[in-house]
Amino acid sequence: MSINTLIAEEDNLIIPTVGNWAETKYDLIFNYNSLFSTGMKKLWRKRVYIDLYSGSGKAKIRNTDKIVYTSPLLAMKVKDPFDKYIFCDIDEKNIESLRARIKKEHSKADVVYVVGDCNEHIDKIIQEIPPYSKENTVLSFCFIDPYSLKLSFDTLKRLSDFRMDFLILLALCMDGKRNINLYIDENHDRIDKFLGLSDWRKKWEEAEKKRTNLVKFLADEFTKQMVSLGYKPEAIDNFIPIRSDEKNLPLYYLAFFSKHERGYDFWKKVKNLSTEPELGL
Ligand SMILES: C[S@@+](CC[C@H](N)C(=O)[O-])C[C@H]1O[C@@H](n2cnc3c(N)ncnc32)[C@H](O)[C@@H]1O
């Protein structure tokens, strides 16, 4: 099934407007959720879906009347829904809208809502992941969809203690490239937190001398940090660019991280279904 079958309706709750590039994102995450939730159903007792920047569950595509389901509701509309859902958003109104939609369309689902900054509320989020035992095996999938690079590597580190795959929208161009002149300032710690590194400025200076571009530098350093948590280095070969509507330039990259080959089997299938051209960092 593709996103075209997941058209939603106006319901007088919060519906932000997004560029049509977001449809590519929704298509990819829906396809991945479908493969993961069905493929893992018989192998794990509990499959947990975590959405750290969940939003309200619907969006309107700019310059159209099209309303679509977004990440949290897409994760509920797969053929074999997850056993538990954990949704976090900093905006209480988004969570209220999401809660109302889920009450209406998925009232039986096991759902926990966390209002606030996911980085600050990580303890609360972690407490909601069911404990793992031989009898009660738990596999989680975490989708991370921020507007910018305002994501703390420490959050990923905490979550990586669990059996967990990540799909992360990296705003390498949208935020990194546009604002590097700000972030290079020692008083600005966005990249320090995103990479979990305080010495990145020195590394960037060296990389720049070798004519490495910033997007590739950030992608490499972030992947190295994920590899240090046990994730597979091949992640970097499987980033998918999400392009802007007007200029066809990559705004974001969707990056998948797993500690296991099977995760990449699913992601590569999704990537092959995608019409997006190759990475070209
Ligand atoms: C790009 S939207 C993503 C929405 C949704 N995932 C989708 O599929 O369209 C980012 C969302 O993250 C929320 N947000 C921003 N900063 C956050 C933070 N630090 N912690 C949790 N949510 C945050 C915003 O309110 C917004 O709803």
Q: Which residues are registered as beta bridge partners of 169?
A: 254
Cα separation, 89 vs 11, whole angstroms: 20
Cα separation, 145 vs 28, whole angstroms: 13
Q: Which amino acid is at 184?
A: I
CA of 209 to the centre of ligand 1 (A): 36
Q: What is the pLDDT of residues 80-107, one digit of tens each?
A: 999 999 999 999 999 999 999 999 999 9
Structure-token pair, residue 150: 């305002």
pLDDT in the model for residue 215: 94
Decide if pLDDT at 266 tops 60. yes
Identify the CA nearest to 163 among candidates 99, 229, 222: 229
Protein residue closest via CA to atom 19 of ligand 1: 117
pLDDT in the model for residue 210: 96
List the chain domain ranges. Answer: 3-172+226-273
CA of 246 to the centre of ligand 1 (A): 23
- The secondary structure of the chain in percent helix, strand, coil, rounded to multiples of 5, reads 40, 20, 40
pLDDT in the model for residue 280: 55
Q: How many beta carbons lie within 10 A of that of residue 171, not counting itself?
A: 24
For the CA of 169, the nearest atom of ligand 1? 1
- Residues 95, 115, 111, 103, CA torsion sign: negative
CA of 21 to the centre of ligand 1 (A): 17
- Ligand 1 neighbourhood includes 89 CB (under 6 angstroms): yes
Identify the CA nearest to 111 among candidates 86, 79, 138, 140: 86
For the CA of 94, the nearest atom of ligand 1? 27
Identify the CA nearest to 158 among candidates 197, 126, 190: 126
Class of CATH domain 3-172+226-273: alpha beta
Cβ burial, residue 206 (10 Å; 0-12/13-18/19+)? exposed
pLDDT in the model for residue 1: 43
